[in-house]
Every structure is written in C-alpha cells, then in structure tokens.
Structure 1
Amino acid sequence: MDKNLYADHIATLRSRYDDIMEQCGFDTLNVFSGAPKVQFLDDNYYPFKVNPQFKALVPVTDNPHSWVIYRRGQKPKLLFYRPVDFWHYVPPAPQTFWSDHYDIELLSKPADAKAFLSADSSHERAAFLGEISSFEQQGLDGWPIGIPNPEELLARLHWARAYKTPYEFACLREANRIAVQAHRAAEAAFRNGASEFEINLAYQQAAGQGENRMPYGNIIALNEHAAILHYTHLSDQRLPEADLKTFLIDAGADCNGYCADITRTYAFRDGEFAELVAAMDEKEQELVAGLKPGLPYPDLHRECHHKVGQLLSQFGVIKTSAESAVESGLTGTFMPHGLGHFLGLQVHDVGGHQTAPEGGITPPPVEYPFLRTSRTIEENQVFTIEPGLYFIDSLLAELKDSDLAKEVNWDKVDALRPFGGVRIEDNVIVHKDRVENMTRDCYTK
C-alpha cells in the first residue's frame, strides 16, 4: 500500500477526530480492539472480530487486547499485544506502511495497558470506544477508561465515516480485485459441477483468505437455494449435471479491514432464466448510473422497484404494469430487501439511517422497511447496488392468499421457482462528476 496515501489518510483522520472530540468535549479516546470470547461450556474461543472503531484508527484487524490511545492534537499511541505464548500465533511488532504514524508500545499481558490508560487521566475527559462486556469479562473493570461509548461522539464518528479518503478508495478497490478473482474461480467450479461446499473452497483459495478473514459468511447457493437471501449452509452434495440450473454467489474479501461485497448469478444453460439474469444485469447497471450527489437514496430504491416491475412484466410473471405493481406493493414479494447500503470498514457500514452529524434517525420508507440507507447521496460515499428478483416460497404463499393473487401468472412462477432467484451487486464510489464502479472495473482487467 502507498505510504503517501496512508500519510494523507491519517492526517485527515486526525483532523476529523480532533474536531469531533472538541465538539463533544473529550481530550482522549481509549479504543479497545476487543477480546476473544470463550464458547459456552468449552475452552475454545469464538472467532475474533475486531472492534470497527479500533480498525478505523489503525489497520490492525486480527490482534485482541490491543488499544489505540488518541489524545487530541497528538500522535496516536498503539498498545500492541504480543504475549509470550506457545499455544497461539503471536503477530510480529508492526513494521509496515502505517507504523511510523503511531507511537507503538508492546504489551506482554492485557493488564499492562492500564498504566498507559491511567497516565495524566486526572485532568483529561476521556471516552472509551469498544464492547464493555468484552472488556469487563477480562477482569479489567474499574480501569480509568473514561465514559463508555458516548452517544453524540459515536454519532459524529459514524457520520464522518461515510466520506472516504483516497487511501480508503485504494483499499476498497483492492478488496474488489481480490473478490472478483475469487468470483471467477467460483463460477468455474460451478460450471464443473462442484458442490456448494467445494465452490466455497475454490473461492477461498483464489482469494487467499479464510472464513475468519472474510467480511461475512459467503452465500453460495445452487438452484432453489438462491431464494434464501442469506443462505450459508454450504451443502456438500454434488448435483447431477441434468439438475444444475443456477448459481448465486454473494461473497467478498478484505483489504486492511475494508470490505468488498459482490453478488453474481449464473444460469447453467441457455434459456429463459439466463435471459432474466442478463436483463437484471442491464437494470443493475442503469441503477448504478443513477447514483448522483443530491439524490435521496430511497428515491433510487423506488426506481429499482420500477425496474423489477418491468422485468416481472417482460417475463410474464405478472399480468399488470410495472407502475401498478409498484403502487400495489406487488414487487415487494419478488424483491423484499433494500437496493444497497454504505460499504467500508463494515459490510453494512454505519450511519445509513442517520439524520445529521450529531445523531437522529431517519427511518426508511414504511413500504421498504429493510432499506439500509435513507441518506442523501453525496460525493466520496461508497455504496453497494444490488437489485434482486426471487421466488421465495413463504412470500409467494402469502401473495397467493392475497387480493393481488389475480395479478400473477402462477404457471410462470412455478416454472421459475426451481431457479431460486437472481441478484447482481456491484461496489460503487460516488465522485463529484462521475460514478466509479470498482467491481466492473476489476472484471474488465
């Protein structure tokens, strides 16, 4: 990673944090990376997931019991945990593109952090950012950590996270490059008749990242499993070639803590469903082009429902017009989720429903309760765009018992039901005068 990009990034972060801390009346932030949690009635740990507020300040994603101590106007201090341990991997002391921007202290025991936290605490107003239960479970309660997770401070940090720096763009582009390479390997495995489990292995091998590093559990769905929006079961059963119909993959990758989140759908052979996938791909690219600074994101979501309605009409699934299907709520049966969300350090990045920097919630429209973003689109924001069209048994059963049942061609629904559904998802940067589709750019290379 480019050192100059990171130098500019940390300078921007420090200016941002200084302003926010001053507005909220804090001198110090004590940010805890987190601690592993022991599984119930066991002596093994759940996979460690770092506190996103920690990796927002330093690109360390895999080291528990570490801290960033940030005092307003000062160089950040990183307390980096390096125990004497023959049971587990101990990471080396940081010597990389970002390490010169921190005063680094090495901790051999979690309790060693207390001395740094207590220094000069008598005249400082401090805040603690992290999971209090995780902290207290280590027997470290009573430390001078400051006020836990102040609401306005978190709100202002979350609001600011929506505006990415060039370093963050570089990380997101690299995460997309890794993910696209792995998506290609997964498609090849599908074409060769692999099981869901085997396809996932092919994806991880091509990405060079295991499930603990992936930003979320990969969705690897064959045939009707594509109608399960968050399907992660990963069957190990190979299907006979005659039974293979479709493959939906929603899978990402990580780069320095930043996420890719990409979805593709493939038909195994030519035919009507392959045509539906191609048509959805066109609609998705039209929606990407519609990302404009100043446009409320819910407006683009409504436009997505019109495009889904057009596809339902074009392929004979409904008997009414797209406009009528949107107005009646009919399209919601076939696309129950939101168009997309913020993307960054978290897959569903923070602040999507926030009203203003100081806080407040603007809920999504009542008719679209699962939309994760109600903000107005602005320059330097990063979104996913992921329209879908599915044949979900439970939702179709409700529809069949409703007054809208007469608007549906049920023979066509039954013909397409075994294919599960289709979703296409790209990761997109909104610039002042253009939209950058990171995912498509990687596919063309």
Structure 2
Amino acid sequence: MFKKEVYTERRNNLKAKMSGGIAFFPGHSESPMNAPANTFHFRQNSSFLYYFGLDFPDIAGVVDLDSGESIVFGDDVTMDDIIWMGPQPSMKERCAEVGVTDSRTYSELFNYIKKAVDAGRKIHFLPQYRADNKILMEALTGIRAAEINRYQSVELIKAVVAQRSIKDEYEIEELKKAAATGYNMHVTAMKMAMPGVWEQKIAGTIEGIAVAGGGMLSFPVILSQNGQTLHNHDHSQTLKEDRLMLTDAGAETGMHYASDFTRTVPVGGKFSDRQRDIYNIVLAANNKATSMAKPGIPYFDVHVEAAKVLASGLKDLGIMKGNPEEAARTGAYALFQPHGLGHMMGLDVHDMEDIGENYVGYDDEIKRSEIFGLAGLRLGRKLQPGFVLTNEPGCYFIPELIDKWESEKKFADFINYDKVKEYIDFGGIRLEDDLLITDNGAELIGDRIPISVEDVEKTMNES
C-alpha cells in the first residue's frame, strides 16, 4: 500500500468535496468458486482501496463528512484463521498503516448506521454490483437489495470521479509497473504466434506472466485469430498461416493498478500486402489520437479524428467512398470500428465503470452520442492533466454486421459493399496504447510495445 498520508489526504479531499453526512464504503467478501472454502482469487473493491488501502475481505469504511472522522469496521482473526493463514496483524495495526485510528468490530457497523439513519443523517454510497453487498445494504438500511441502487448518491459518485480521475505520482508509478508486465506479455505472445500453435497455449503463457509479475490479469485475456469478435475469449483454435492474431491483455500490480494493451500480428511473422495496408491505417489512427490528446481537448473529438483517418485510409483502398469527415460524423465508419477509441484506466481497467460510465466519461458539457459507433465511446469529456486512458482504434470485418448493413442499404453512399466482401475472411486489427495526459500533451505509459510493421516482424522473427 501507499504511505498512510496518501489515504488520509484522499479522505480529507473527499470531505471537502461533499456537503455532509456519511460516506460509506463496503469492502468485498470472499466469493466461493464451488464451495465456501474454495474461493476465487480475492479482489477488493477499488473505491474502498482508493480511500482505505486495506486489501483483505470482510471490512467496511466510513468517512464522517461532518467531523472528518474515519472508521474501519472489521474483526481480528481467530485461532482457526491463524492455523490456516498464519499470524496476521491486528485490525488496529492494519488501520494505523492507512491513517485510521478508529477501528471497530464488524458487528458495530449495524448500530453505527442505524444511529445515523435514526438521526436523519444522509448515508452516501456508491452503486453496488455484488449481490452480497446489496444484501448487506438491505440489512443496514432497510432498503430492498433489488432497489438499493435507486438510492445511490450522485453527489458521492461525482466526488469520487473527480478524485480518482486524476492520478498522482504514486499511482503513475504503479501504472508503469503494470505496463512493464503488459509489455512482457505482448512480446511473448508475438513470438509464439506461429502456425500450428494452440491459442490457449499462448493465452495461458501470458496469463502466467501477469501472475508472475506480482498481481493478476486486469481482465480475462482476449486472444484469437478471429479478431473480428471484439471480446473474443475463445482460445480453442490452432493458428493458421495468413491469419492475424489479435491479443488484448493487461496485468494488475499487487496494488491492483492496471495495464491494457492490444497488438495484432501476422501468424508466422510476415504481413501480407493486404494485411499491411489495413494495419497501417489503424496505426495511423492510433498515432493521430496520441498526437491530439492534450488538456482541454474532448476525447470525443479525438475519436472522430481517428475515425476520419480510418475512413480516409479505407477510401484509398476502395472499401469506402465519399467524404471521410462526414463518414466519421455520421457513423458510417462504424461498420469497421463499432467501438469507442478508449476509456479511463487506473485501479480498474475500465476505471470506475462500476459507479457509472456516463459519470466517468461524460459530464454536463459533453453528452454521450446515440449514433452507433459514436455511442460506444466510453470517454468523451475534455481531457485533464493526470487522466490515464487507452487509445485503441481498430478495423474489423464482421460478416454478420456487413450482411445486415448491406441488406438495409445502410450508408451505401459511403461503403463499397462489393469491395468489402473481398475482406470477409480478414478478421480484425486493434492497436492499443495506454496514455497519461500531461500539462502539454500525452505520453505513453511504459515502453511502447513493438507496433510498426517492421518492428513487429523483427520481434516475431527473433529466435
């Protein structure tokens, strides 16, 4: 964890942003895999980690927004726990490490919340996404678990988003560690992408690199020669010559900060002319986005410019036609890139998505588009120094979507469907980097994973 002053300052800043009442942060409990004693790898709630830093189950935190007092509720381990887990610090000792002097047993949480409710105090809480915490909230507040998120605190959501969006120097160092592990994962995947190799062997190998890096995956590995399926977790196929392998993967550090990179490589280590043409269009869109990203620029505008690069490049190949800028603004390009350019990243790979994507990626000034493709953009608001985000343009040939649009004669003024059909077996390409917004622009987090055609081929063909 970070030094205790970091967590104390975060809680004090939260208090300064709020009007009063109590901010309640339930931590996570263990989640059984197939029996109570056989659990999935524990992952603490990210907002709890941000304010309290304690990475173990069955605890909860409170910030009294009127007095400024912070309290952690949790129990010391029993002798049975020690037998299985070994000796553990006391709750008082653990809380002192994060600047909390008031440690109480977990059962006291119920009386504490009841007294606050009886006194008419506002209980602020974030949206809950785990069933056990919804049930806990019902027990604490009397609000039915199924209805609990109707009572989420928008004031707290906005305050948390404002804080967690800006990464401090300690967080940036953790993100660089995650990027270093991600680099190793992707270079390894590149070198393994040879004909006859089972996709699962590569996916399992790079998952091991994430775990060996001290943390875990930041999300389940996406790796497939069927890259036209955006989140393809099926690793059952054997790689074939003349196909492309798309790998979207990242690691968490031991403190749960994430990386998220995507590379697409030619199976066997040599791009065909057709693959190279599409690849370089996507790379140009990626580089354009990085060059544009800076404080004060809406990421929506960066997305549109990257889409214009995509449409222009596809026009040069005869796949699209018409005005590239209009194709970008109307969503005609989205046949080839139906997702957004990127998202916020930090303690979560899609940072704070659990508390409301529209609060994280949009604001009162910039609202989410309803146009297909543009609507898929998770981050549209103006960039600020300290933002960490992904830059991930792509180009995909999705047979089912192509057939649907052609049957509807959709955007026929922009799309040469006869030419598109020549690429029906192409698959997909995505190229993703992680960016830190600085005072003057954007910089890559960590070393850039090989991305030019020349560097990818060179890396793949090294012994």
What's the TM-score bracket when you normalise by the shorter of the two chains?
A: 0.7 to 0.9
Residue identity opposite 2:383 in structure 1: I
Preserved contact between residue 189 and residue 202 of structure 1 (Cα < 8 Å): no
How far did residue 104 of structure 1 move? 7.9
Preserved contact between residue 80 and residue 104 of structure 1 (Cα < 8 Å): no
Residue identity opposite 1:65 in structure 2: D
Structure 2 CA distance for partners of 1:374 and 1:325, relative to 1, 3 Å = closer
Structure 2 CA distance for partners of 1:417 and 1:106, relative to 1, 3 Å = farther
User: What residue number does 1:129 align with?
Assistant: 125
Structure 2 CA distance for partners of 1:80 and 1:189, relative to 1, 3 Å = farther
- Residues 1:245 and 2:243 are matched in the alignment: yes
Preserved contact between residue 288 and residue 306 of structure 2 (Cα < 8 Å): no
Residue identity opposite 1:232 in structure 2: H
How far did residue 44 of structure 1 move? 6.3
Preserved contact between residue 320 and residue 407 of structure 1 (Cα < 8 Å): yes
- Listed as ranges, the matches of 1:278-357 within 5 Å are 278-326=280-328, 329-350=331-352, 353-354=358-359
User: What residue number does 1:254 align with?
Assistant: 252
User: What residue number does 2:228 align with?
Assistant: 227
Q: Choose the corresponding residue for 1:15, options 12, 17, 25.
A: 12
User: What residue number does 2:262 align with?
Assistant: 263
Residue identity opposite 1:297 in structure 2: Y
Structure 2 CA distance for partners of 1:88 and 1:421, relative to 1, 3 Å = farther
Residue identity opposite 2:238 in structure 1: R
Equivalent-residue separation in structure 2 for 1:437 and 1:292 (angstroms): 12
How far did residue 125 of structure 1 move? 3.8
User: What residue number does 1:363 align with?
Assistant: 367
Q: Which string of whole-angstrom CA distances, capped at 9 and with x for unpartnered residues, describes residues 359-410 of structure 1?
A: 8695312322111123111121111111111101221012212333475444
Tell me the percent identity: 22
Preserved contact between residue 386 and residue 436 of structure 2 (Cα < 8 Å): yes
Equivalent-residue separation in structure 2 for 1:29 and 1:288 (angstroms): 37
* TM-score, scaled to structure 2: 0.78
How far did residue 30 of structure 1 move? 3.2
* TM-score, scaled to structure 1: 0.81
User: What residue number does 2:89 align with?
Assistant: 93
Q: Which string of whole-angstrom CA distances, capped at 9 and with x for unpartnered residues, describes residues 209-262 of structure 1?
A: 69x94222211111xx20111111221x324x43x5111111111121222111
- 399-408 or 180-189, which moves further after superposition? 399-408
Preserved contact between residue 360 and residue 379 of structure 2 (Cα < 8 Å): no
- Residues 1:51 and 2:53 are matched in the alignment: no
Structure 2 CA distance for partners of 1:194 and 1:93, relative to 1, 3 Å = farther
Structure 2 CA distance for partners of 1:164 and 1:407, relative to 1, 3 Å = closer
User: What residue number does 1:157 align with?
Assistant: 160
Q: Choose the corresponding residue for 1:390, options 396, 399, 404.
A: 396
* Corresponding residue SS for 1:383: strand
Equivalent-residue separation in structure 2 for 1:289 and 1:80 (angstroms): 48
Structure 2 CA distance for partners of 1:143 and 1:209, relative to 1, 3 Å = farther
Q: Choose the corresponding residue for 1:141, options 139, 142, 148.
A: 139
Equivalent-residue separation in structure 2 for 1:257 and 1:355 (angstroms): 19
Structure 2 CA distance for partners of 1:330 and 1:120, relative to 1, 3 Å = closer
- 130-139 or 325-334, which moves further after superposition? 130-139
- Residues 1:433 and 2:412 are matched in the alignment: no
Equivalent-residue separation in structure 1 for 2:124 and 2:263 (angstroms): 40
Structure 2 CA distance for partners of 1:105 and 1:198, relative to 1, 3 Å = farther
Preserved contact between residue 172 and residue 258 of structure 1 (Cα < 8 Å): yes
* Corresponding residue SS for 2:350: coil
Q: Which string of whole-angstrom CA distances, capped at 9 and with x for unpartnered residues, describes residues 331-357 of structure 1?
A: 111111111111122222236533999
Preserved contact between residue 304 and residue 329 of structure 2 (Cα < 8 Å): no
How far did residue 313 of structure 1 move? 1.6
How far did residue 135 of structure 1 move? 3.5
Structure 2 CA distance for partners of 1:297 and 1:407, relative to 1, 3 Å = closer
RMSD of equivalent CA atoms: 4.0
- Alignment coverage as a number of residue pairs: 429
Equivalent-residue separation in structure 1 for 2:83 and 2:234 (angstroms): 31
Q: Which string of whole-angstrom CA distances, capped at 9 and with x for unpartnered residues, describes residues 133-191 of structure 1?
A: 5236469824799x974231222222332122111111211111111111111222223
Preserved contact between residue 181 and residue 206 of structure 1 (Cα < 8 Å): yes
